[in-house]
């Protein structure tokens, strides 16, 4: 197939491109505006493509340029799209909601439109657990995790912008018989390529495990815990952390799944959670550094607990994670930080 990967120069997108280059003969085109992605990542992926004798193209474009995107889609005859390109910082989405609805929802809707007009049969969408909002313990079982069938009620524009895109995909698949999609609702993505060739290079990072790694090696003087008064066992938020390579593998399996299955939505996580304090303690353990941590007030739009129920993706796609270990996640993050 000829696969378009939007946001392929970014953190998650680059990891799936690497897996595709190493394990398939698909032709890959990356489309990225390099706002949060990196040319250095493209350079590394280009080397990997040559090593594996796979065709890799890169286009530096922005999805907001609708006429340009329409031309690209028409000229390249893609068979599938894996769509990562999006804004994803929850507090920023609260402060600047229009940026998120324009970039995450409007641009995605146009990309879907172009897909249907140009014969793209498969669309893998990077969604989020933020679509669930603040889970209601009287409605869902927080101990066993959120199911795909549980209520979706986002509490921030980031989550809502992704849920709206899911609805566009659902309605489009209903209207077009030859268009199928899989929406993967990620929980907290962390870790880096165990080979050490790519990783998360995001500037001004907000993801907890990367921030902890930066603090451990002295890139930051200290780090903060945003809220220690949540209704959890130690007062800090609990999240389901998934290694980025396991997440990348889920995308490849979703692409294969759509060959003979209908469109669907899947949680991608490990079905267990760790608190912010537990994550920080683990990073201190693997790094051997007792770095400084301070408590600050809660951030807007952060729920207390988000854990996945991953039964569906395991049973239907037979997805089996390989890196379900918090120490491994922290260690690969730390090693990448040391490298860059």
Active site members: 158
Going 253 to 254 to 259 to 261, the CA torsion angle's sign is positive
Neighbour-count burial for 265-282, b at 16+ CB within 10 Å, e otherwise = bbbbbbbebbbbbbbbbb
Please give the Cα distance from 27 to 309 (Å, whole number). Answer: 33
Residue with the two structure tokens 């209903």: 174
CA-closest candidate to residue 127, choices 99, 96, 104 = 104
Distances (CA, A) of 108 to 101, 117, 158: 10, 14, 13
Decide: helix, strand or coil at residue 5.
strand
Write down how long the chain is: 340
Q: What is the dihedral of CA 106, 112, 116, 120, to 10 degrees?
A: 150
Distances (CA, A) of 57 to 74, 158, 310: 16, 30, 34
Please give the Cα distance from 120 to 78 (Å, whole number). Answer: 6
């Amino acid at each position: 197939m000829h696969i378009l990967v939007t946001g392929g120069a970014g953190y998650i997108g680059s990891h799936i491109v690497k897996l595709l280059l190493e394990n398939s003969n698909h032709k890959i085109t990356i489309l990225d505006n390099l706002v949060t992605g990196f040319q250095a990542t493209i350079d590394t992926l280009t080397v990997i493509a040559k090593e594996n004798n796979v065709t890799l193209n890169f286009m530096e474009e922005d999805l907001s340029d609708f006429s340009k995107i329409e031309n690209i889609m028409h000229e390249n005859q893609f068979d599938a799209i894996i769509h990562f390109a999006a804004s994803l910082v929850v507090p920023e989405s609260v402060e600047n909601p229009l940026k998120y609805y324009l970039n995450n929802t409007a641009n995605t809707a146009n990309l879907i439109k172009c897909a249907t007009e140009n014969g793209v049969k498969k669309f893998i969408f990077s969604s989020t657990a933020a679509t669930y909002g603040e889970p209601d313990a009287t409605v869902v079982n927080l101990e066993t995790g959120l199911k795909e069938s549980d209520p979706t009620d986002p509490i921030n524009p980031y989550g809502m912008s992704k849920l709206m895109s899911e609805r566009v995909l659902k309605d489009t698949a209903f209207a077009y018989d030859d268009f199928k999609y899989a929406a993967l609702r990620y929980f907290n993505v962390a870790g880096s390529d165990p080979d050490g060739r790519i990783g998360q290079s995001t500037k001004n990072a907000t993801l907890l495990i990367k921030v902890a790694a930066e603090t451990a090696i002295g890139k930051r003087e200290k780090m903060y815990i945003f809220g220690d008064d949540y209704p959890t066992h130690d007062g800090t938020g609990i999240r389901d952390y998934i290694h980025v390579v396991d997440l990348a593998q889920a995308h490849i399996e979703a692409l294969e799944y759509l060959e003979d299955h209908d469109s669907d939505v899947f949680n991608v996580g490990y079905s267990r959670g760790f608190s912010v304090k537990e994550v920080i303690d683990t990073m201190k353990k693997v790094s051997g550094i007792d770095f400084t941590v301070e408590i600050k007030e809660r951030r807007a739009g952060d729920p207390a607990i988000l854990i996945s129920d991953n039964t569906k993706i395991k049973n239907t796609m037979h997805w089996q994670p390989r890196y379900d270990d918090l120490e491994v996640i922290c260690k690969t993050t730390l090693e990448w930080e040391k490298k860059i």
